[in-house]
Structures are given as C-alpha cells and as structure tokens.
Amino acid sequence: MSSDKITFYNAVICPYAQRAAITLREVGAEYETVEIDLSNKPDWYKDINPELKVPAFTVGGKHIAESLVLIEYLNDRFPEKNLLPKDPLKRAYVRYFIEYYSSKVQSEFFKYVFNIKAENAFADYEKNVNGALDRINELLVQQSPTGPYFLGNEYSLADIAVAPLLARILGFHRLFLNGYEWEAVKKYPRLAEFIKGITERPSFKETYIGDEKYVDSFTAKFNIAKP
C-alpha cells in the first residue's frame, strides 16, 4: 500500500466533495485538507484540476479528480476497509445503484429546481421521483431485506456516493418545501431505514455542512424563490 500522504481539495458546501471527505474518514487515511472557495477559486487551482471542480487529490505529486474516481481510489488503496464487496456481481450492483440514483433521482431534483415556476413542475418531480424510489426500494431489498445500508449491515461506496446528494434534497424539502416527504419513503420501511442509516453515519454527520447553510447557499446561487 502506498504511504503517500493525500492532499484533499475540498469545499464543504459541495456534495461531491463530501463523498471524498466521508471516504477519507472511513478508510483512516492520512491527509491534509485545502478548502477551495468555489465563488473565488484561486488561480493556482487550475494546475491541480483544470476543470476547477472539487474534489481533487494530490498524491505523491500527482493530481486526480472526480468524486467517484477518488472514492474508488481510496477503496483500492485501503482494500482492508471493504468499501466494495469482493464479489464482482455485488460490486456491479453497487455501481449500478449509484448510477441509477444519480440519473433517476438527482437529475429530477435539478430539473425541478431549475424549472420551479413552470406549470406542473412539482407534480412531475413528485411523480417521477416516487417512481424511481419504487425501483430503488427493490434494489435495496434485492441486496438485503433489512438495512441500514445498501448491502444490509455492510457499509459501502453505494452509501457514501448517495448520502451527500440525498441529504441535501431532504434538507431542501424540509426548509424550502415546508417539510414535504416522498410517499415512497412513507410506504417502504427498507427505504426509510436506508435513508436514516446513511445520514446518521458518523462520517457523514462530521462532514455535512447542515441543511440551513446548504439551502441558503443553494437558493442564493441559483436565485430560486419558493413557488
């Protein structure tokens, strides 16, 4: 295993950076954090990541970026932490779950907030996400009838990748949509247990900026007003 110390370029507001922050804690890596102001990125940061996004790592003088790449790198570097199953099919399910959540839930959330004043925007969001959550519940039950994580009792990259994104949507629901809850979460105990499990994990709570700061920043950045 490489002993090179990691420099972690972070922005606590960013859910993708939080993926890396959680994983660094879970694997017990030695690292130092450099906080990047996303509204005023330093000129030197383009030499770390030309796309100017966070997160990024510097390891042994070399730079690497993109959150899913970074968390897989940490899994490969610290395989004893078992953040991916050894079984190739289960690893594939973890990766499928991450992609499904991103394309079917996260994308619908962004579609809604960027068209929040459009007719039927909320109704479409509600319908499409609840439908996607039906399938997510099936995937959860397929892996294990009980949680609290995607793989049951086994915490994995599936949980790490989804938690920062999902938590921010739920925070938006609580503070911006007057506590709105998805019907699917009320209907499926396995789904509700999963959400609770990933958002109450210490490594998540220690790295989360909090609902109020996130929602204030998000709505100000995109100039979103309550519908």
Is the domain defined by 6-81 classed in CATH 3.40.50.2300? no
Is residue 10 classed exposed, middle or buried when 0-12, 13-18 and 19+ CB atoms within 10 A define those classes?
A: buried
Predicted local distance difference test score (pLDDT) of residue 1:
45
* Greatest Cα-to-Cα distance within the chain, rounded to the nearest angstrom: 55
**Poorest-pLDDT segment among 107-111, 162-166, 189-193, 216-220:** 216-220
CA distance 177 to 181: 9
Domain residue ranges of the chain, discontinuous segments joined by +? 6-81, 88-222
Contact 21, 8 (CB under 8 A): yes
Contact 63, 55 (CB under 8 A): no
Is 59 one of the catalytic residues? no
Sheet holding 56-59, edge to edge: 31-35, 6-10, 56-59, 62-65
Tell whether the model's pLDDT for residue 226 goes beyond 80.
no
**Which residues, at least 6 apart from 143, have a Cβ–Cβ distance to it below 8 Å?**
90, 93, 150, 151, 152
pTM of structure:
0.96
Q: Report the percent of the chain where pLDDT is more than 90.
A: 95
Tell how far CA 7 is from the center of its chain. Answer: 20
Contact 149, 159 (CB under 8 A): yes
Check 13, 14, 17, 20 and give the catalytic one.
Answer: 14
CA distance 101 to 92: 14
In the CATH hierarchy, which top-level class contains the domain 88-222? Answer: mainly alpha
Interval 109-160: pLDDT, tens? 999 999 999 999 999 999 999 999 999 999 999 999 999 999 999 999 999 9
